[in-house]
Structure 1
Amino acid sequence: MAAELTRKDPERAPAPAGAPAGPRAAAARRAARLRALRPWLLLAPALAVLAVLLFWPLVRVLLLSFQDYGLRQINTGESNYIGLGNYREILGDSFLWRTVLPNTVLFAVVCVLATVVVGTLVALLLQRLGRVWRIICSSVVMMAWAMPAVTGTYVWVWIFDPLNGVVSGGLDGLGAIEPRETNWFTDRWSFYAIAALNVVHHGFPFVAITVYAALLTIPRELPEAALMDGANAWQRFWNVTVPTIRPVFLVVTILSTIWDFKVFAQIYLMPGGAGSNPEVLNLGVWSYIQSFSRNQYGMGSAIAVLLTLLLLGITVAYVRALSNERDHL
């Protein structure tokens, strides 16, 4: 067979052991390498832009976190590396463990849970509405999502204004509080309750629309079969809906976790959130204040790195937990 192939087309004949490959084989290998590189060549411009806009700033922040970097270093351009000094100072500060970290973690957990629950309930409502009311409700929901975080924060500040706010005025009319003696923004818990309302109000539309889109992909036969088997509404939701669209819940939960852990405007723009009330600082605002209010850019960069590592750790742990749960199903 090899002799016949050699007689008909010498270039396609198999090369003897140890002999150099023919020109056609070399051309095939070059074509294969080119096909493998073609996607990366097409992505190269976008990757280059991302490297300039995202990767280099991350590297720069990491380098600054190992320096005692302030106004003097900005003016002179010199570097003042101190190793892990910034990290030791931050991790050894009781203010981190007593105030900043609890504010960041507890606030994010509450906001993520509330955002996913409210968004899912709204998605289930949209599924049951008629076409006209679904369009109206979806439009209203999207308006809440389209509102900028800065605008939404000022609206909530006005609602809870101690003197002229809607809440204070209503409770004053009922005789429940004395507006001039009640300031919702000085207390740590009421401050974060208002911030949570703000964040959930701004974040639940994304969850609602995403989950509603996922609900449309569930075959109608599944809930109908569960209903015929005697399952109630909760059982149908937990045993049919949730397992079917579990990847969607994973995506919205991870994204909500990332967004809520790095909340900045909703805290910084509220009265006391810019540093005048240290009891309400979270990691993002603390990093900003250290950098731009106190000109300790190395310290602020170290705080930002710790926040990034915290986010990565939580995201990886959550994805692994859900993956293990799915494998056991």
Structure 2
Amino acid sequence: MTATRPWLLLTPALLVFAGLLLWPLLRVVLFSLQDYGLREIRTGESNYIGVANYLEVLQDPQLWRVALVNTLGFAVVVVIATVVLGTLVAILMSRLSPTWRVVVGTAVMVAWAMPAVTGTYVWVWIFDADGGVVNQTLMALGLMETPVNWFTGRLTFYLIAGLNVVHHSFPFVAVTVLAGLLGVPQEMLEAGSLDGAGPVRRFFSLVVPSIRQVFVVVIILSTIWDFKVFAQVYLMPGGAGSNREVLNLGVWSYVESFGQNRYGFGAAIAVLLTAVLMAITVVYIRTLMKEDQL
């Protein structure tokens, strides 16, 4: 009875978890094994075709040349930028007085509280080809003669999306890392200073190992969030499918499902996206666990 008591206590939460997460995930997997379109929705019939959708996705040049490259490249760059900026802000806040820490923390959290849709439209307005702040400023400074549409180029498109995501995500990293920094023993830092270690050396040799688990959490969560970015890409000009060069896996799945009414094919893309994300997360966690055992 003692061994089963924890599971009995967890049963209600596990049932809710299964109903909200596992069942929808299972349904997506089932859809990915079917040629599921408007006819199947109307009739309620199933049309299983095995792994044909997965084979089509893997053979599609759009996956290897565009969607996967955009997804992986964007996630890597944005995660690094988010963690670095958030950590720098956390270090700044840790050196402030309690009053100013509250003021800066409140200002920082405003960016995190802003809905992704609202933030995206703000960045679209800033880089708008006609009346955007960036174009108007560059032309006023004489750096450009005519306005530039920043959303047509693949690199500039994702540069804007990256600014949007980093601006929205770094407050979480800053607040989380700040909590870890405030828990680092000051005696250890003072001992390092007496041994001649400078601020940078103390941070990487003493602080980072002490709050490694904090960095693990923020990196894994940032990877998950940035890997499956949707609104920040879909709502930008061309991001909804009219510009195929800027599609990532999440938007490509949506466009194929609800734009082309190929729900089975779109579900297969979504399952592959989930599988790649899980694989990256598992590899990263296993790498950290091996380092801890050394």
Q: Provide TM-score, normalisation by structure 2.
A: 0.98
241, 263, 277: which one aligns with 2:229: 263
Counterpart of 2:266, as a letter, is: G
- For 2:12, the equivalent position in structure 1 comes to 45
1:110 paired to 2:110: no
* Paired residues of 1:169 and 1:179 also in contact (CA < 8 A): no
Q: Tell me: higher relative CO, structure 1 or 2? Use CA pairs within 8 A at least 6 residues apart.
A: 2
Please, which moves more after superposition, 206-215 or 124-133?
124-133
1:234 has 2:234 as partner = no
Picking from 188, 192, 195, the partner of 1:222 is: 188
Structure 1 equivalent of residue 43 of structure 2: 76
Q: Confirm or deny that 1:141 pairs with 2:108.
A: yes
For residues 222 and 130 of structure 1, what CA distance do their matches in structure 2 show? 21
Aligned to 2:143: 176
Mapped pair 1:190 → 2:182 = no
Secondary structure of 1:258's match? helix
Displacement, 1:179? 4.0
Partner of 2:23: 56
Q: Which moved more, 1:147-156 or 1:46-55?
A: 46-55
Structure 1 residues 95-149: Cα deviation after superposition (integer angstroms, max 9, x where no partner): 1101111000000000000000000000000011122221111000111110000
The answer to whether the aligner puts 1:278 opposite 2:270 as a matched pair is: no
**Aligned-partner Cα distance in 2 for 1:110–1:251:** 18
Q: Distance in 1 between matches of 2:4 and 2:289?
A: 32
**Could you tell me which of 14, 33, 36 is aligned with 2:3?**
36
Q: What letter matches 2:103 in structure 1?
A: I
Identity between Structure 1 and Structure 2 (%)? 64
- SS of the residue 1:230 aligns to: coil
Alpha-carbon distance in structure 2 between the residues aligned to 1:106 and 1:272: 19
Separation in 2 of the partners of 1:113 and 1:238?
16
Structure 2: any 5+ residue segments left out of the alignment? Answer: none
User: Counterparts of 1:225 and 1:137 in 2: how far apart (Å)?
Assistant: 29
What is the root-mean-square deviation in Å for CA atoms of aligned residues? Answer: 0.9
State whether residues 141 and 205 of structure 1, in contact with CA within 8 Å, keep that contact through their aligned partners in structure 2.
yes
SS at match of 1:161: coil
Give the counterpart letter for 1:264 in structure 2: F
| Aligned mate of 1:201, from 167, 186, 203 | 167
TM-score, reference length from structure 1: 0.88
| In structure 2, C-alpha distance between the alignment counterparts of 1:167 and 1:279, rounded to whole Å | 23
- The corresponding residue for 1:211 is 177
Deviation at 1:178, TM superposition (A): 3.3
Question: Residues 207-262 of structure 1, C-alpha deviation per residue, up to 9 Å, x if partnerless?
Answer: 00000000111110111111111111110010000000001000100000000000
Q: Larger C-alpha radius of gyration, 1 or 2?
A: 1
Shift of 1:176: 1.1
> Aligned pairs, how many?
294
Asked if structure 2 preserves the Cα contact closer than 8 Å seen for 1:162 and 1:179, the reply is no
Paired position in structure 2 for 1:29: none
Q: Distance in 2 between matches of 1:322 and 1:47?
A: 28
The whole-number CA distance in structure 2 between the counterparts of 1:294 and 1:223 is: 59
